[in-house]
Amino acid sequence: MRREPFEKVVELHGPTVLRVCRAVLGAAAADDAWSETFLSALRAYPDLRPGSNLEAWLVTIAHRKALDQLRAEARRAVPARNLPEQPSTHQLPGGWESDLLAALKALPLKQRQTVAYHYLAGIPYADVADIVGGTAEAARRAAADGIAALRRTYAHARHDRDKEGESS
Amino acid sequence: MMTTPEPADGIGLFAALPEVDDEAQRRLHARLVAAANEAGVLDVAYRTVDTPLGSLLLAATDKGLVRVAYAREDHDQVLEQLAHRISPRVLRAPARLELPAREIEEYFAGRRTLFDLPLDFQLSSSFRRTVLTLLPDIAYGTTASYAALAAAAGNPKAVRAVGTACATNPLPVVVPCHRVVRSDGTVGQYIGGTDAKKSLLSLEAAA
């Protein structure tokens, strides 16, 4: 089977995988997860089964790398908790990005994962379930709960701030 | 399969998370190339270099320069062929091709008459490879005929095969197939086009 040069894979799927890593791990840790994902993928690429869905394959690797990182973080964990989630003082659009990442970070891991894999990478729930474990229905429910929570926290804050912006 | 899922809500919940972050992609790409190099899994590195004859694609394996391609060969297609014939572990890695790029720039500036680069001839086999390895013996600024080259390769009747070897030279410019011309003095075919061949010959004649 003809395989595209890996450079094309990075070009086509790199941005989506980065979005997914950021949503699951936050901006700082996302770089490491992305790098490990693509290095692993590059190693395995010549043996990838023909006809595989590249993006789902990459997200599956990223999922494992993210779990490795979260476990390593937990091992390192000092009692000091995550940095307090302060509302960003930046203006658009950077501020919204950190607000969104903070809101995502507040979600339970399974919700963050299912939201990222389905809504950011466009992976169907049946395949999301293969990645995170459990049934497709459970994956759909976790994502729906995650979206509902994001609407309550992030979207709400955003709405209020938009109004402020209009009146100033 | 890339299905766009139904929007999460009316306002685009994830709009704040950039779909493409060019700065991050550049940083991560460089990091990937460095890590791949270190791990020995960057099988084909490539870059382009601008020349008076247009953009040249340069590709290298760990053995050396393996491919030079003119824009008319379609760089994307050449990279696909490399992925197929050598390895799909192909990445744009300019630093790994710094030496060939510099020598080619010097050559086009008229400051270099000899390439001093490790070469990987794996894309050519048998007789073609024999012919290619003879080409660097044709001195800068001179030419040889297809017939003379066939004789030098030990098969005086193989004039056409020599023509094919030159026409399919995976390393034009560096392996000087442009110095092989017809016995009647006309320049003959060239992978970069006849005009490119004439340009190279006059560049070398002028230096």
Q: pLDDT, tens digit, for every residue of B102-146?
A: 999 999 999 999 999 999 999 998 899 999 999 999 999 999 999
Q: Which residue has the higher pLDDT, A97 or B5?
A: A97
Name the burial class of residue A150, with classes exposed (0-12), middle (13-18) and buried (19+) by CB atoms within 10 angstroms of its CB: buried
Q: What is the distance between the alpha carbons of residues B187 and A166, in angstroms, rounded to a whole number? A: 72
| Touching B: A residues 31-50, CB under 8 Å | 31, 34-35, 38-39, 42-43, 45-46
Mean pLDDT over B8-24 rounds to 76
Mean pLDDT over B25-39 rounds to 97
Q: Across the interface, which of A3, A42, A122 has its CB nearest the CB of B4?
A: A122
Reported as a single tens digit per residue, the pLDDT across A78-94 is 655 555 555 444 444 45
Chain A closest CA to B89's CA: distance in Å?
5
Residues of A in contact with B19 (CB under 8 A): 15-16, 19
Position B120 scores a pLDDT of: 97
| Touching B: A residues 100-159, CB under 8 Å | 100-101, 118-120, 122, 124, 147, 150-151, 154-155, 158-159
Name the burial class of residue B38, with classes exposed (0-12), middle (13-18) and buried (19+) by CB atoms within 10 angstroms of its CB: exposed
Are the Cβ atoms of A5 and B44 closer than 8 angstroms?
Answer: yes
Is any Cβ of chain A less than 8 angstroms from the Cβ of B118? no
Q: Which residue has the higher pLDDT, B107 or B19?
A: B107
From the list A87, A65, A53, the residue with the least C-alpha distance to A156 is A87
C-alpha B173: how far from chain center: 9
Chain B closest CA to A29's CA: distance in Å?
13
Is any Cβ of chain B less than 8 angstroms from the Cβ of A7? yes
Reported as a single tens digit per residue, the pLDDT across A7-20 is 999 999 999 999 99
Predicted complex ipTM: 0.90
Reported as a single tens digit per residue, the pLDDT across A116-138 is 999 999 999 999 999 999 999 99
Residue A163 binned pLDDT confidence (cut-offs 50, 70, 90)? low
Distance in Å from the first CA to the final CA of chain B: 56
Name the burial class of residue B140, with classes exposed (0-12), middle (13-18) and buried (19+) by CB atoms within 10 angstroms of its CB: middle
